[in-house]
Each structure stands twice: as structure tokens, then as C-alpha cells.
Homo-oligomer: A and B are copies of this chain.
Amino acid sequence: MKQLRVPGPTPCPEGVLKAVAQQMINHRGPHFQAIMERVTGRLKEFFNTKNDLFILTASGTGGMETAVVNHLSPGDKALAITNGYFGERFADIARAFGADVTRLEFPWGEGAQPAALKAALEKDKDIKAVIMVHNETSTGLTNPVRELAQVVRAAERLMIVDAISSMGAVELPMDAWGVDVLVTASQKGWMVPPGLAMIAVSPRAWLYSGQAKMPRYYWDLSKARRFLEKGQTPWTPAISMIYGLDSALEMMAREGQANIIARHRRVADAVRGRVKALGLKLFPDEKFASNTVTCIRAPQGVDVKPMLKYLREEEGIVLAGGQGALDGKAFRIGHLGWVNDKDVDEIMKGVEKGLARAGYVKA
């Protein structure tokens, strides 16, 4: 395989894989404590936050569940902004644990509108929390968290954001924008294999969690806080992934956050430019197009699945199909984490060949 370009897992740099392969150590000993403290500190820098931050042994969805069950009680009203597959998932999680969830729906591919959020929060003063996805991997769209958070702050509710496929790669300064609960996962912008979710929580979120009655044990952040005081986790952590994260954060610190964000913007611009030059259409409204994943409408007459199979088997390029309602109607290119300009050329040359082979002719 030349290019793994699904929207996660992303390919891992060699140094990260080497770090991942290190021998086990005692997770209750001083060596591990030093690593945990370094990794947690660096993550906080990339989150641009002074909030508490925890590393969980889980997929990103476990981090989403953690964000819900620590801050709400059954029956609590939550407003779920949805405009894609993962926004739906977040709403489903809250409902599974008994929240009274209202959906503020926008069409897939359109950005969530701050004015509509404002109206929804004014209409129902009992809504305690807004839950939403920053970067919708399913549609290749980045929601305007900055403006949405301003609305939530003004209305004095809790702002819970899944930034699983954007954090580390796209601008989202947690404290400056006023996000209360922020979730991400290792296999996206962080260039680390899957297995870790990371969650940061504001002092306001701690006030909520003191009242929150949803049942929790494995995800209990008050336990995580107690153990982190000793540089530990309550449960045996995925040590190898934390080794990998330590190495990746070292690499990221060398590149610098501003440069990383600029690289993702540049790469995404290049992908979008090539997509449009081919006469293809982006799925989302381009104003909200994501810098970590590009979702492309399947052109008329092109069958996506055999094209992706051809790319995978003959060109060594692994892309993703459409998700949920977009199955068969779109395909997606992940360009986050360990990605650079030269990758774009290789990926897009493959896509051109795949499309031509599928009989596509630019209109």
C-alpha cells in the first residue's frame, strides 16, 4: 500500500511506530509517570487549554460517551447539532443514556448556523448542554465552532464538542473559543494508531459533572483526575499507544502548531483544487469544507465501490466510500496527520486513473 488515505486511521511516521514497539513498563511506576505528565502537558498545549485533560484507553466513540455521561443526568435536555453521521451518533449516545435530546438538524453538507442555534436556545431555556461535532468526517465539513460557542457562552449552557478528526490539525483553541468539553482520538491528526481517546474539560464542566447522574464507572473522569495527580490512569492504559503519542507530540512540537495547521490548509486546498480541475463536485458547501477530509460527490454514471477497489488493489491507494446516507453516492479522501503536498499528487493521479477507468469524462 502506497497511500492509506481514509479519514483515520492515518499512516504513522516511522518514529511513532518505533516508539509503539517499545517493551512494557509498570504503569504504576515512575518511568510511566514521567511519560504521562509530558504527554498530558503537550496535549494541553495543542488544545490551547489550561483545563484538565485525560487520556482514555478507547476508540473516539468511547471519548464521546465519556463526554456525555460525565456531564448529564437522565432526563436532562440536550440540544444535538446534526449535519452528518457523527452528529447523529453523538445524539444517539446521549439518548442511549437517557438524555432528552432535541436535534437541531441542518442538511448534510451545510454548516450549522449560529443564528438557528441562538433561536433554539432562546426557545427552550431548559436545555443544559449543546453537543456537536466539529469536523464531520462523513461529509467533509467543519462546523463553525467559534461562532457556535459564542452563542452557547452567551446563553450560559455547556458546550460539548467532538473534535476527533480535527484536533491537532485544524484551529480549535479550546479556552479562547470557550468550549467546555473537547474530545479527540489518537488515530487522526495525532498520527498515532487507534486506541486512545483524549478529553479536556473546563471548570464549568466539572460543576456539571458534580451533578450528573448518568451511570459511569470506566469513563468516570473524577477517578481519572484522582489518578492523574500521580501521573497514572485508573485502569491499565494502552501503554504502547502512549509511547507513540509521546513520539508524535515531540514531532509535532518541532513542526509547531501554526505550521501544522498551515500544512493541513495547504494540502486540503491542493486536494480541492485538483478535485475541481477534474470537474468533480465537493459534497459540502465549500465555505465549510474540511481541511482534514474531502468528500466528493460520485459523478453521474461512476460506480464508486469498484473504483475504490481498483485504487486499493491496483494503485495501492486506500480511500473511503460514502458513509451512512452517502454510501455509494460519494467517496472521501483523508488528508490529516502525516500528509504532505507530494502525497496529494500521488493520490490525485490515482483518482484520475480510477475515474478514467470507470468511464468518467470531464463534462
Point out residues on A near B: beta carbons under 8 Å: 1, 4, 6, 8-12, 17-18, 20-29, 57-62, 65, 92-93, 96-98, 185, 187, 193-195, 214-218, 234-241, 244, 312, 318, 320
Contact = CB atoms under 8 A, between A and B. Distances in A.
Nearest to A188: B236
Contact of A240 (B22, B24, B217, B241): B241
Nearest to A164: B236
Contact of A23 (B17, B195, B244): B17
A292 to B, nearest CB: 15
Contact of A235 (B28, B59, B244): B59
Contacts of A22: 17
Nearest to A216: B96
A97 B92 CA distance: 19
Nearest to A243: B193
B61 A59 contact: no
Nearest to A57: B59
A194 B236 contact: yes
A320 B1 CA distance: 43
A98 B216 CA distance: 10
Contact of A237 (B65, B194, B215, B239): B194
Contact of A217 (B27, B65, B185, B320): B65
Contacts of A58: 57-58, 62, 218
State the number of copies, please: 2
B6 A26 contact: yes
B195 A240 contact: yes
A27 B185 CA distance: 15
Q: Sorted from nearest, which 8 A-B pairs have the closest CB atoms?
A: A195-B238, A59-B235, A21-B21, A9-B24, A193-B240, A61-B235, A96-B217, A194-B236
B21 A6 contact: no
Contacts of A27: 9, 194
A312 B28 CA distance: 12
A25 B8 contact: no
Contacts of A98: 215
Contact of A28 (B6, B25, B28, B92): B6
Interface centre among A62, A195, A244 (most CB of B within 10 A): A195
Contacts of A10: 24
A153 to B, nearest CB: 28
A15 to B, nearest CB: 11
Contacts of A234: 61
B240 A92 contact: no
A318 B193 contact: no
Given A58-B58, A214-B215, 12 more contacts: A9-B236, A18-B21, A20-B20, A57-B57, A57-B58, A58-B62, A59-B235, A62-B235, A187-B236, A193-B238, A193-B240, A195-B241
A218 B20 contact: no
A61 B218 contact: yes
28 contacts: A4-B26, A9-B25, A9-B26, A9-B236, A10-B24, A11-B23, A12-B23, A12-B24, A17-B21, A17-B23, A18-B21, A24-B193, A26-B318, A57-B62, A57-B194, A61-B217, A92-B217, A96-B216, A97-B215, A185-B236, A193-B239, A194-B237, A195-B237, A195-B238, A195-B240, A195-B241, A214-B215, A215-B215
